[in-house]
Amino acid sequence: MSAPEGFTDADRALLTELRRDLHRHPELSWKETRTQERLERALRDIGASDIRRVANTGLVARIPGRSARVPVVAVRGDIDALPIAEHTGLDFASQNPGVMHACGHDVHATWAVGAALLLARHPAAGAVMIVLQPAEEVGEGATAILESGALDGVRAIFGGHVDRRFAVGEVVAQAGPLAASADTFTITLTGIGAHGARPHHSADPIVGAAELILALQTIVSRRLDPALPGVITVGAVHGGHAPNVIPESVELAGTIRATTAAVRSLLTSETTRVAHAVAATHRLTAQVTIADGTPPLENTADAAGWAAAAVRDVFGEAALVPLGTTNMGGEDFAYYLSRMSGCFMRIGAREPGGEHRDVHTPSFAPSEEALFAGASVLAQSARIASRAFAG
Ligand SMILES: [Zn+2]
Ligand SMILES: [Zn+2]
């Protein structure tokens, strides 16, 4: 397959303006109404006709292929922003106080539109579904898109995330774990309150909580194979209000991260077991709630191969870079992979001479050149996958 066409100057202007407009008007998860309208207009402007609103504030558009008999593949961009006050100094900075596209989803949405533009011009073997997904940051949008039925029958899906650890033109497209599961636990330790001077009359949940926080750390250090990644973080401790009062209860809350189903299961079951065991030691009861978040994101080998071939076509072999250390963040693209093949890529977004800056920070700003790199790679991934399904 020959290298994909580049973007014209007019395309580049259109996509840059779209991205800046989305950036200026960020909207939180499930509130992406202006964003939805703007993206709908952008898809219409590039000639897409089969556009549908799905999953409340999401959109899908079907870009016809050369044959209606070839199975459909999909390209997904997420569209929501974060409750962060922007401090980038950009002249197209957020005009919505306290809300910011600090995770680059303005770029991801534009990638999907850019891929639609390229695929409309040079169609894949079969149709490609463009998915503009709301509510990634709360881990709910992918499930809502799947439940809408819009992707029924779709065989493979591609998506990506801007990443300033990598230069523009570098892409991670590899099989296996790419992002972690993200489950939330809450543990309430309940005992007997008492005067601070008479601890022997209490069953003290403060001391119990202190021991439990440390005991939870031994799950990763003593129970998990040291060659496998896993995280248990206690991020919130609530209990007590006076220096001389032992309270009746203390609540701990935290997050559990794993990159495989087996590790996820070990960490969650051990968290529960250890909480009850430590509580019993201190004559407390433990109420443990674990809310399932996104599952681990594991790219399938077939789709990772197609995505890697697309990166080679667009940028050459040297552009394919390894992930390096495992990413313990969560990404709700994982839900799509329980239904179909797929590859989620990390797409370089650092300008020459630039430094790494993390997403979810007030100064995060991806290079705008990443707009065209991501769109080209996603369009080409869809073409290569579609050709494979065409047989
Ligand atoms: Zn994010
Ligand atoms: Zn993100």
Are 66 and 123 in contact, with CB atoms under 8 Å apart?
A: yes
Q: How far is the CA of 164 from the centre of ligand 2 (A)?
A: 12
Residue 221 DSSP one-character state = I
Nearest ligand by distance to the CA of 106: 2
3-class SS of residue 331:
coil
Which residues crowd ion ligand 2, with CB under 5 Å? 103
Q: How far is the CA of 57 from the centre of ligand 1 (A)?
A: 18
Q: What is the pLDDT of residue 1?
A: 38
Q: What is the pLDDT of residue 3?
A: 43
Nearest ligand by distance to the CA of 138: 1
Q: How far is the CA of 176 from the centre of ligand 2 (A)?
A: 19
Nearest ligand by distance to the CA of 84: 1
3-class SS of residue 159:
strand
Nearest ligand by distance to the CA of 82: 1
Burial classification of residue 348, based on how many CB atoms lie within 10 Å of its CB (0-12 exposed, 13-18 middle, 19 or more buried): buried
Q: How far is the CA of 319 from the centre of ligand 2 (A)?
A: 22
Q: How far is the CA of 102 from the centre of ligand 2 (A)?
A: 8
Q: How far is the CA of 204 from the centre of ligand 1 (A)?
A: 38
Q: How far is the CA of 319 from the centre of ligand 1 (A)?
A: 24
Which tokens in the block code for residue 255? 């997050």
Residue whose entry in the numeric block shows the structure tokens 């029924």: 152
Q: How far is the CA of 201 from the centre of ligand 2 (A)?
A: 50
Nearest ligand by distance to the CA of 162: 2
Q: How far is the CA of 137 from the centre of ligand 1 (A)?
A: 5
Q: How far is the CA of 234 from the centre of ligand 2 (A)?
A: 23
Give the separation between CA 387 and CA 288, rounded to whole angstroms. Answer: 49
Radius of gyration of the chain (CA): 24
Q: How far is the CA of 138 from the centre of ligand 1 (A)?
A: 9
* Average pLDDT per 10 consecutive residues for the chain, totaling 391 residues: 69 97 98 98 93 98 97 98 97 98 98 98 97 97 98 98 96 96 98 98 98 98 96 98 98 97 97 98 98 96 98 96 92 97 98 92 96 97 98 86
Q: What is the pLDDT of residue 325?
A: 87
Going by C-alpha positions, the residue among 345, 301, 297, 309 that lies closest to residue 77 is 345
Nearest ligand by distance to the CA of 104: 2
Which tokens in the block code for residue 135? 């509510």
Residue whose entry in the numeric block shows the structure tokens 């556009």: 51
Beta strand pairing call for 341-350 and 156-167: parallel
Q: What is the pLDDT of residue 373?
A: 96
Q: How far is the CA of 267 from the centre of ligand 1 (A)?
A: 23
Nearest ligand by distance to the CA of 78: 2
Q: How far is the CA of 65 from the centre of ligand 2 (A)?
A: 29
Q: How far is the CA of 275 from the centre of ligand 2 (A)?
A: 32
pTM for the whole structure: 0.91
3-class SS of residue 25:
coil
